[in-house]
Structure 1
Amino acid sequence: MTTSPLDHPTGADLALAAATAAAAVLPSVEPLMAAGAQPGNEHVTAAFSGAAIAELEGARTGRIAVLVGEELTDALAASPLEGLDLAAATQPALDAVAATLGVAARAARTVDLDLVVSDLGADFTVVPLIGAGIAASILIQDHLLDQPVDVAAAPVAAQPEPTAAQQLADTVVDAAPPAPAQPVTQPVAQPVAQPVAEPVAQPVGQPVAAGGSVTPLPATRGIEMLHGVDMEVTVELGRTRMTVRDLLALTPGAVLELDRAAGSPADLLVNGRLIARGEVVVVDEDFGLRVTEIVDDARAV
């Protein structure tokens, strides 16, 4: 019988510290909190709508993953900026997990939910991230938690008394996929200090009203949760085409003629998509761009 790293405080503390670091940078409308590490199983993806996985490199190699709910995937689908996918949006969270483990994460890739468990293997640990509900989960292969790592750089905050949402997180990976239409009543969730109403059959990451109905999030709030996501921005002066022979013949001092006249505006591209044009300027001895035109979808070429 194999033992899980959760049998040792070091493994559980490390997983919780890694998930806490991820919670601080994962896009979310509500602040997220790591709810406690637990062994993963084949049902872990049932409550989520998207997943991203990253390979780790460094002193230890392996895989980590993040599962997200409809709140984030819907915001990505509604984003006016192309090229922003789940892997890009969750890369900072995966980087934070890797840094806590003492390694580095490679570029993340979006995967189908059905493939997450097989990609991670049989032994992995899950840490749910709680907001208004279970908004996300961090998955870490168990062997990455076997060796002690100094978690002082990412201390885990003292955990308050568990709410009904946290109690739900303690059992979510052991539950079978939820029934599609039946609301579930929690007879055991009696109020201790303050009344709490957290029906378990609500969509992940959605605020829940006292009567059990789901309060839809305004579309603008969905976009706002992406405000902290990094995107690659490029300023392009012009382009040209060359043969392989000419490319191989390039030497220092060679001059290339571009397809842009002198004085023409430069293009501002976000993840390869043209969104603006402007004038090249110098700011504190560095090049900059003064935006003079915003390009809409109909005019972008």
Structure 2
Amino acid sequence: MSTTTIDTHAVADELARLLPSSQPLVARPAEPGERPAPSATAVVATFVGQTSAELLVVAQDAVAEAMAGAGALTLAEALRPALEAAARTLGAGVLGAAEERPAGEAVTGGDVTVFALVGGGTVQAWFGIRSISQRASMPSAPLEAGSMRVLYDVELTLTTEIGRTRMPLRDVLGLTPGTVLELDRAAGSPADVMVNGRLVARGDVVVVDEDYAVRITEIVSETSAQ
């Protein structure tokens, strides 16, 4: 069985870049024996693809300020965008639902690579990645059309995106009712249809029985989506 080497530092860098911390974070390999407190909360999600891995984040203190201004947002929901960004560096695949576990249970064993996420000269958060063998996560050979039938009833979450914008955390925390956000897309442009954060199609936003809907106008190939 062939294996794929994961550039764990690149994955950690991408997660640190998107983590909603009050200060920029830089990932560095943890020193021997350097680990988060066992009682801390780890958010864990499994990515399944040609390269599969379990991703672990301990960042409750680092994102506390962002969560304080985000209403009922859970820790797993707050960390989801950073986990999705990290997962995209692993290639095509699906990131499963995130769950919370004690860090002493999640960040353990010699098979997990741990990074300290440093900001302001101190460790603000932790990231761990544990490689999953290809055989355990999916067939080593590409799935044939017939064998894909076993996955046909698996439900996926599709989202529609009409545009994006970027702003500093201080501006996000200052959002109030009536704030107008300018997006990076002109009015009338097609909306993006995403599956687990990956662009799969584009379409026009329409109304069906007083509900919004999307009429697909283009299927996006993997190469054109990159």
Q: TM-score, normalised by structure 2?
A: 0.51
Find the residue that maps to 1:136 and give its secondary structure.
strand
Correspondence list, 1:116-127, <5 A: 116-117=106-107, 121-127=109-115
Q: Structure 2 CA distance, aligned partners of 1:80 and 1:89?
A: 9
Change (3 A) 1:100 1:226: farther
Q: Does 1:79 align with 2:72?
A: no
What is the distance in 1 between the residues matched to 2:29 and 2:58? 15
- Distance of aligned partners of 1:17 and 1:226 in 2 relative to their CA distance in 1, 3 Å threshold: farther
Structure 1 pair 287–81 and aligned structure 2 pair: CA distance change class (3 A): farther
Structure 2 unpaired stretches of 5+: 134-168, 179-186, 189-203, 208-226
Q: Distance in 2 between matches of 1:59 and 1:97?
A: 15
Match of 1:60 among 34, 51, 57: 51
Distance 1:80 1:37, change over 3 A: closer
Amino acid at match of 1:63: E
Whole-Å Cα distance in 2 between the matches of residues 51 and 100 of structure 1?
21
Superposition deviation, residue 107 in structure 1: 2.2
Higher strand proportion: 2
Deviations 1:33-58 (A, max 9, x none): 1123666x6x6221884320001111
Give percent identity, aligned residues only: 30
Counterparts of 1:1-301 in structure 2, within 5 Å, are 14-36=7-29, 44-46=35-37, 49-73=40-64, 75-76=66-67, 78-79=68-69, 81-82=71-72, 84-102=73-91, 103-117=93-107, 121-132=109-120, 133-142=122-131, 224=169, 227=172, 284=188, 286=205
Unaligned runs of 5+ in 1: 1-9, 145-223, 229-274, 277-282, 289-301
Matched with 2:197 is none
8 A contact 2:40–2:102 mirrored in 1: no
Q: Following TM superposition, by how much is the alpha carbon of 1:123 offset from its aligned partner in structure 2, in angstroms?
A: 1.4
Give aligned pairs, total. 142
Deviations along 1:193-222, one digit per CA (max 9) or x if unpaired, are xxxxxxxxxxxxxxxxxxxxxxxxxxxxxx
What is the distance in 2 between the residues matched to 1:80 and 1:90? 12
Alpha-carbon distance between aligned partners in 1 of 2:95 and 2:126, rounded to the nearest angstrom: 17
Structure 1: which amino acid aligns with 2:77?
A: A
Q: CA RMSD in A?
A: 3.7
1:1-28 deviation per Cα after TM superposition (whole angstroms, max 9, x unaligned): xxxxxxxxx65xx111111111111101
The answer on whether the counterparts of 1:51 and 1:111 sit within 8 Å (CA) in structure 2 is: yes
Structure 1 residue 117: Cα displacement: 3.0
Asked whether the 8 Å contact 2:38–2:103 carries over to 1, the reply is no
Aligned to 1:115, the other structure's residue is in SS state helix
C-alpha spacing 1:225/1:61, structure 2 compared with 1 (3 Å): farther
- In the other structure, the counterpart of 1:167 is none
1:177 counterpart residue number: none
